[in-house]
Structure 1
Amino acid sequence: MATSNTGASGALLPGDTFATAEAAWHRGETEAARAMCERLVAANPDDANALHLAGLLELGRDRSAARALISRALAVRESPLFLVSLALTCQSAAERSIAIRALGRAIELRPDFPIALNNLGHLYGEQGDAAQASRLFERAIELAPDHAGIHFNYGAMLLNAGEPARAEAVLRRTVEIAPTHANAWNNLAKALLAMNRNTEARVVLEHARLLAPDSVEVLTNLGCVLWGAGHIDEAKSTLERALELDPHRVSAWNNLGNVFMSRGRIDEARAAFSRAIELKPDFADAHINLGNAMSKSGSIEASIACYRRAMACDPANIGANSNLLFALMFAADDAHAVRAEAEKFSARHEAALLAASAHVHHANAPEPDRPLRIGYVSPDFRNHCQSLFTTPLLRHHDHTAFEVVCYALSAQRDDVTERLMKHADIWRDVREFDDARLAQQIRDDRIDILVDLTMHMGGARRLVFARRPAPVQVAWLAYPGTTGSPSIGWRLTDPWLDPVDMPHVDDQYTERSLRLPDAFWCYDALAPELDPGALPVLSAHSAGHITFGCLNNPCKLTDATLALWSGVFAALPHARLILMAPPGSARERLETRLAAHGIDAARVRFVGFQLREDYLRTYHQIDIALDTFPANGHTTSLDAFWMGVPVPTRYGRSAVSRAGLCLLANLGLSELAAQSDVDYVAIVIALARDLPRLAALRAGLRERMQGSPLMDGARFARNIEAAYRSMWTAWCEDARFKRSPGED
């Protein structure tokens, strides 16, 4: 038995009784209580109560000593209370079976012992047996309906078991019993967050902060919610306060990194994510976010490595897997490899839902010619590049034949959102719907054709589509690729992205490809008042030197791209280059990589991420835009054309590497598209040396754009609607075929 540092052992002192020792313990007089217990046990080695209390007093400093004392007490008297205490000495997973046996025996001796039931429920919850844990907790609550601690533990178990709706009900009862229980409020917020009810969660966390201003967990969660709601400065100060209180709080470092990302402070974001990983090497979310930061820095291979590490840490993490799939398209011109990875995603994350929905019945009437209800699902109905393409389609839909329902997944809302809302027949704000609820809403809305506008990009809700809430499901717009999911029956493409005569072209996708007649995209610049300006090379300050530019996401600046450009700069020694990249180490690394391809840093000027109009004005300084490979510019190239800047392209075999070809073909400029590096360099050099042609393109590209299918919203809408009708007819035929012979 451990001894007290007071030296008070031996003969009993006046007033030494178990009751006085217990009273001292309850008053927090630990050393006095310990000394009295030692004297009581010295006087009577079989004083079970004193042995038990002495064991409890050792729990905080020596669990082995505590267990020895409590075991001695049990040897004297098998008490349910002593058995509960013995279980408390078992902290490791290896000791869990000892604790379970002790608590089970306590309940045998006293079936109505709520604390034993509570503690055993907690242990079963820890080992993943939520059903058994629930039975124990519910029995404990039946015996002690006003015990806040039992409710709290039950709610925490349900939350960890992935049952946030049940957890919410239990935790609301907890705070009803104990209104000042800050941790219960915090867990209630976590349950709400798990159900996507972010607005409610923020209110709950603000209340928890009032109760516990210095709770690191509350501050960390609140900072995350504030960041998600776009309150960046408040999120930053909240998270910094959490880290001031606890510099080792891993999730706070991760959340702070996201705040820095939102501000474009990529180096600080990388440092925060790296610190989180240093503290917790298997923290999957931090690896994902570090991968995102690497991507923004132009290090696509490093970002892919981060996503793979995240998947190794947490194989069930859907976000890591989706990010990997999206990143792979930028790294190599191999869509078959991307399909293989996408199919692995589906097998890993969607299998159970796909099996459950394989034979789901849709009540939609299989009538080929009736008006159809089209559902568009996206987190980007806002000031986002996707709106440049959804705007012309939604604006020109034939609402007599197609009813448009938009499912907005994001909390962000702006003037673009307001404009898009006017083009929808029904607008649903579903940002706080979980996957199951959103799928049910889509079923209730009787959507005939559900359009996935996100695929594996940020904000994707893959498990909604895996539930097959609509009879026809199609992927479009996010990027011309594949979801890998059997739940998506169709994908839209065009004859340039996926030529019918290219061998094995449709084998790159799990979906059936339906080719629109002209192009995958229809564009609205949403900035009509900004004109292209004069050709920069003809200005006085240019000294006749051509200026190239690439304002694509830095993740597209692959080694293949820089090698492609190197021949251009070797032939044009006075040419300059404008690149978009975040300040700091990203630019330094790009300068080093450019130098390795013979492009001197003195010829390069960087710009950061900008608001749209400022970004478009940057094209006033660019004569020719250089395309990227294997992932061509998509939106960025259309923006360049709109601003009078030609974009020669190098195309490959994958659809993302053929975007430039598609755009140029629709503009009548196919001669600017090359199938090899050598031809690309020759095309760019010839164009750079032909200033009259460059000037003519500058003056006429916008008009050419406006007269092309790329900006003919009405034509594009008719083409999309014809595609929808074709898909729907195919489903109707299939539905009729599947009917039993006696049905009409």
Structure 2
Amino acid sequence: MKDIRLTPAELALASAQEALDRRDLQGAVTAFAQARAAGASTRLTARGHALALSELGRHAEAVEAFKPLFAKAQKDGATVNLMGVLLKRAGRLGKAAEVLELARKLRPHDRSPWQNLGNVYEALGQPDKAAACFRSALKIEPTSATLWRLLGRQQMALSQTEEACDSFRRGLALAPRDTEMTAFLVQALQVAGRVDEARALIAKLCEERPGDSELAVIDARLSFRSGDVARAQAILNAVLAQDPAHLAANLQLANLIGDSDREQVNRALERAVAGHPDSFVALDRLTESLSRSRYGNEADHIERAYHLAKRLMERFPTRIPEAARTLRTILQRVLDEDRMAQTGSLDNLLPLWQAQGLHSSVHYELGQVQTLDDRLKLVDWHRQWGRRVARQITPVPPVALPALAGGRKLRVGFMSSDLRHHPITYFTLPLLENYDRDAVEVFCYSFSEKEPDQVQRHLEAQVTGFRHWPKRPDDQVAEGIAADGLDILFELGGSTAMNKLEVMARRPARLGASWLGYPHSAGLEQIDLILTDPYLQPEDPRLLIERPFAMPETWVALSRLFWPHEIAEGTPQTRKGHLTFGTANNPYKYTPACLDAWAAVLRVVPGSRFLFLRPEAGVGSFVAGARAAFARRDVDPDRLEFIGVRGDHMRHYNEIDIALDTLPHVGGTTTCEALWMGVPTVSLVGAGFPERLSYSNLSNAGLGDLATLSVADYVSAAAGLVAHPARRLALRHGLRAQIAANPLGQPARFTRNFYDLARKVASE
């Protein structure tokens, strides 16, 4: 018998195949590397090596392993297609699109490259291009339910609701038991206003498949979105009684509970993660919810959210863009600059968030601008988001009102879920207490899911009408507001928790206006006005979508809610022996440019300290992140101080000599708080709306010299205050009187100016 001896390369290849057969991916990777080192050709090793690496989540290595074969086979459609898939998994979406465009040209009659290319365009937030790819794939394989579902999703993103309904129906006809397809069709029917049809579909399917828990969850979701919260909860409770770890039921229960009970939400999401540890959605949702949790020990919630965020990034590297909103929020809260960079650039994320309709994602990114073009892109993003929303809804019929010239009362509304003990009420209180009841009627609209507090109860007694509508669907909210016949409605919440910005697209009042909650044009062209003042209004008109509701002096005035906090004797420097800079601003405003400026100030003021006055300051990971950030900027991290606090923070301003504002997105409420406590604040004035809030506050408190126009001037202004301890002492104990002598401290004057302007605008 002939002696057959295998070469080392052949032995390694055989070993790799055996490892693959028993699903030993790491063993396969090792064997493929040995085969390559022993001289095996890339034709024999590259594909298997790359796929094994990719399945292990080592996507960048997979691309490198496949490159030699790709370089030799650029005209082989299958090879090019696989390279596109590997690039997508590695998060290199732009390059993946380029490669897959070549693959679909090489294999125009193959569904696979078309579908893969569509998936990439979807991830890039380009639903028009994605839809075109899926249509091309359907021409090749019209009986693919998956392709009809993918097409329908893009049509929903493009507000082509009727077309999406048709696509999902076709898909469901091909795959009658596809629960995901059913859920998409029900959602599309509801968005299209065909709720009865959606209910009939669910009833029919439940009759055909009694006891199907996934269908029950879809039924609960429809009930919830239609406003029948009790029925939705009863359905979900029944499902969870049978299966406490049911993924879809726990996720939907978390949606239903919302902000009314964050602890209960977290219990539902913990059950989902425990029962489905490999669920991307469950991990994402729990991370996001923990980051928003304030009950119990907030620092522990933040730390756990950060741990889960790292786990999510390691487990699902190709899906980081999908989770970028959640990831960036928690990574900002612990100052993890390195992982923040891994979530992608804003240029790549904005189109994706546009396609997903994630307005709230952009709130935390308003400071991520450097050039005028960056700012204009953000304005355009908001405008496109607003048009997308407007395409999906029908405005409510306007209520006929007699002319104001006839002597009737002006009817003004304020819409916010923060009309309770909250900073929003710090500024709205004068308008709700001190208006002329013989000339004005005031209505408030709140969607807060929390029990009314003392402040809300007080407001209810002050205004003409206070509508508390938790969990009410947008269309019903708009109809209810319209019934009050408002001349002008001010939206105060933006896309923050429990607020309903999209209601403004339905035009529930004759005029819509924006104030306080969102420091930027919201994007809806149905919002006619945005409240500004001579300092706040951008010089470049392109940086606003709305017309200015131009107050003559100030955009806010301090109410009596600022009064009770005591100021300690002397200054922090005289009490502690060193000067302390500090901030109480949210970490999402701590951009690299901001940290650079703060570090520059500390470098020119030897011996000074910097105090973080934030809930995050009690989190070990935040402390580590802050210390690392300043060390990278040549500042001894031992000069940093941390006070972790939520709610009871005002008294700790007594520990700060000079507040350093964030940049380019500056403070608003925090600047007012610091000034009220006698703490001078140095700010940088930028071009855009969110870069000018402190400019207004400082100017309207008689401290316009602390609003600077360059980073160099910012550093100099901070150093200048250090050099004048007498001025700081005078401000510490005299600033409240100075504020009272200026527009920022004159709420009665502000109230008169506000309602005079509202009447003028409503009469035009």
TM-score for both structures, normalised by structure 2: 0.69
Paired letter, 1:330? G
Determine the structure 1 residue equivalent to 2:285: 255
Structure 1 residue 575 corresponds to structure 2 residue 608 = yes
**CA-CA distance at 1:495 after TM superposition:** 1.0
| Equivalent residues in 2 for 1:540-689, closer than 5 Å | 540=575, 542=576, 544-580=577-613, 582=616, 583-608=619-644, 610-613=645-648, 615-689=649-723
Q: CA deviation at 1:151?
A: 14
Kindly provide the CA deviation profile for residues 535-586 of structure 1, in whole angstroms up to 9, marking residues without a partner as x.
343555x1x2111111111122223223333343223211111014522333
8 Å contact kept, 1:616–1:639: yes
Is it true that 1:692 corresponds to 2:729 in the alignment? no
8 Å contact 2:273–2:282 — kept in the other structure? yes
- In 2, Cα distance between the equivalents of 1:630 and 1:122? 42
Amino acid at match of 1:514: F
Q: Among 409, 413, 426, which residue is 1:388 paired with?
A: 426
Mapped to 1, the partners of 2:250 and 2:485 lie a distance apart of 42
Determine which of 467, 474, 477 is the counterpart of 1:435.
Answer: 474
| Per-residue deviation, 1:282 | 4.5
* C-alpha deviation, 1:288, in angstroms: 1.8
- Counterpart of 1:510? 545
Contact 1:619 1:643 in 2 (8 A): yes
Structure 1 residue 596 displacement after superposition = 3.0
User: What is the CA distance between 1:440 and its match in structure 2?
Assistant: 2.5
Aligned to 2:355, the other structure's residue is in SS state coil
Q: 1:652–1:206: structure 2 CA closer, same or farther, 3 Å change rule? A: same
Partner of 2:261: 231
Counterparts of 1:207 and 1:233, CA distance in 2: 21
Deviation by residue 1:362-405 (Cα, 9 ceiling, x = unmatched): 52334345312222222322333222112222122223322222
Q: Pick the aligned partner of 2:569 from 521, 525, 534.
A: 534
| Residues 510 and 220 of structure 1: CA distance in aligned 2, closer, same or farther (over 3 Å) | closer
- In structure 2, relative to structure 1, the CA distance for the partners of 1:429 and 1:299 (3 Å cut) is farther
Question: Which amino acid letter does the alignment assign opposite residue 409 of structure 2?
Answer: P
- Kindly indicate whether residue 501 of structure 2 is the aligned counterpart of residue 465 of structure 1: no
- 1:622 deviates by 1.2
Q: C-alpha distance in 2, partners of 1:660/1:123? A: 46
The verdict on how the C-alpha distance between 1:297 and 1:467 changes in structure 2, with shifts beyond 3 A counting, is same
Instruction: Quote how far apart the aligned CAs of 1:520 are.
Output: 0.8
Residues 211/507 of structure 1: CA separation in 2 closer, same or farther (3 Å cut): same
Secondary structure of the corresponding residue to residue 681 of structure 1: helix
Q: Distance in 2 between matches of 1:475 and 1:347?
A: 18
> Which residue identity does 2:165 align to in structure 1?
A
Letter in 2 for 1:163: Q
Aligned equivalents of 1:597, 1:297: Cα separation in 2? 17
Q: Could you tell me whether the CA contact under 8 Å between 1:379 and 1:409 is conserved in 2?
A: yes
Q: C-alpha distance in 2, partners of 1:153/1:329?
A: 35
Q: Indicate how the Cα distance of structure 1 residues 693 and 283 shifts in structure 2: closer, same or farther if over 3 A, else same.
A: closer
Q: Give the drift of 1:306.
A: 7.0
Taking a change above 3 Å as real, the CA distance of residues 239 and 605 of structure 1, as seen in their structure-2 partners, is: same
Seen in structure 2, the aligned counterparts of structure 1 residues 133 and 322 have a Cα distance that, compared at 3 Å, is closer
Q: Report deviation, 1:190.
A: 1.5
In the alignment of these two chains, the number of paired residues is: 599
Paired amino acid for 2:461? K
Partner of 2:361: 323
1:222-248: per-residue Cα shift (whole Å, max 9, x none)? 24444x244333333332232222212
Counterpart check, 1:406 vs 2:464: no
| Pair 1:346-2:376 in alignment | no
The letter for the 1-side match of 2:570 is L
Is the contact between residue 124 and residue 130 of structure 1 (CA under 8 Å) also seen in structure 2?
no
The answer to whether the 8 A contact 1:350-1:466 is kept is: no
Q: Which residue number in structure 1 is paired with residue 23 of structure 2?
A: none
Cα distance in 1 for residues equivalent to 2:187 and 2:537:
46
**Aligned partners of 2:350 and 2:224: how far apart in 1?**
23
Match status 1:729 vs 2:760:
no
Q: Secondary structure at the match of 1:450?
A: strand
Question: Amino acid of the residue matched to residue 692 of structure 2?
Answer: R
CA-to-aligned-CA distance 1:474-514 (integer Å, 9 cap, x gap): 11112443233322221111112237xxxx53332121113
Following superposition of structure 1 onto structure 2, how do residues 41-190 of structure 1 map, counting pairs within 5 Å? 97=142, 130=165, 156=183, 158-163=185-190, 165-166=195-196, 167-168=198-199, 171=202, 181-190=212-221
1:625 Cα deviation from its structure 2 partner? 1.2
Considering only aligned residues, what root-mean-square deviation do their CA atoms show, in Å?
3.9
2:259 paired with 1:218: no
Worse-matched range after superposition: 149-158 or 359-368:
149-158
Structure 1: distance between partners of 2:393 and 2:265: 40
Question: Any idea what the Cα deviations from partners look like across 1:78-115, whole Å, max 9, x if unmatched?
Answer: xxxxxxxxxxxxxx989975589xxxxxxxxxxxxxxx
Give the whole-Å Cα distance in 2 for the aligned partners of 1:352 and 1:676: 38
Compared CA separation, residues 661 and 719, structure 1 to 2 (3 A): same
Aligned-partner SS, 2:366? helix
Give the letter for the 2:736 counterpart. R
Amino acid at match of 2:273: L
Deviation at 1:181, TM superposition (A): 5.0
- Counterpart AA for 1:295: Q
> What's the secondary structure of 1:612's corresponding residue?
coil
Mapped contact 1:250–1:276 kept (Cα < 8 A): yes
Distance 1:424 1:178 in 2: 52
In the superposition, relative to structure 1, how do residues 623 and 428 fare at CA in structure 2: closer, same or farther (>3 Å)? Answer: same
Alpha carbons of structure 1 residues 529 and 454: separation in structure 2 relative to 1, 3 Å: closer
Unaligned segments of structure 1, at least 5 residues: 1-91, 101-120, 139-148, 731-744
Structure 1 contact 220–238 (Cα < 8 Å) conserved: yes
- The answer to whether the 8 A contact 1:576-1:603 is kept is yes
> What is the percentage of aligned positions where both structures have the same residue?
26
- Partner SS, residue 406 of structure 1: strand
In structure 2, the CA distance between the partners of 1:349 and 1:717, relative to structure 1 (3 Å rule), is: closer
Distance 2:546 2:341 in 1: 30
Q: Could you tell me how far 1:443 is from its partner in structure 2?
A: 2.3
CA deviation after TM superposition for structure 1 residue 287, in Å: 2.4
Contact 1:535 1:623 (8 Å CA) reproduced? no
CA apart distance, 1:619: 0.9
2:483 corresponds, among 420, 444, 468, to: 444
SS in 1 for 2:512: strand
Alignment of 1:262-341 (within 5 A): 262-263=292-293, 264=298, 265-273=301-309, 275-276=311-312, 278-279=315-316, 281-282=318-319, 286-298=323-335, 302=341, 305=344, 313=352, 315-319=354-358, 321-324=359-362, 326-332=363-369, 337-341=374-378
Task: Name 1:28's counterpart in structure 2.
Answer: none
* 8 Å contact kept, 2:426–2:558: yes
Q: Which amino acid aligns with 1:570?
A: R
The Cα of 1:267 is off from its aligned counterpart by 4.2
State whether residues 396 and 717 of structure 1, in contact with CA within 8 Å, keep that contact through their aligned partners in structure 2.
yes
Distance change in 2, residues 1:252/1:352 (3 Å): closer
Q: Report the Cα distance in structure 1 between the residues aligned to 2:281 and 2:312, rounded to whole angstroms.
A: 7
TM-fit CA distance, 1:346: 3.0
Per-residue deviation, 1:199: 5.6
**Partner secondary structure for residue 561 of structure 2:** coil
Show the counterpart of 1:496.
535
Alpha carbons 1:342, 1:485 under 8 Å: kept: no
Quick one: structure 1 residues 521 and 169, their matched pair in 2 at CA, closer, same or farther if it must change by over 3 Å?
Answer: farther
Partner SS state of residue 578, structure 1: strand
The SS at the match of 1:579 is strand
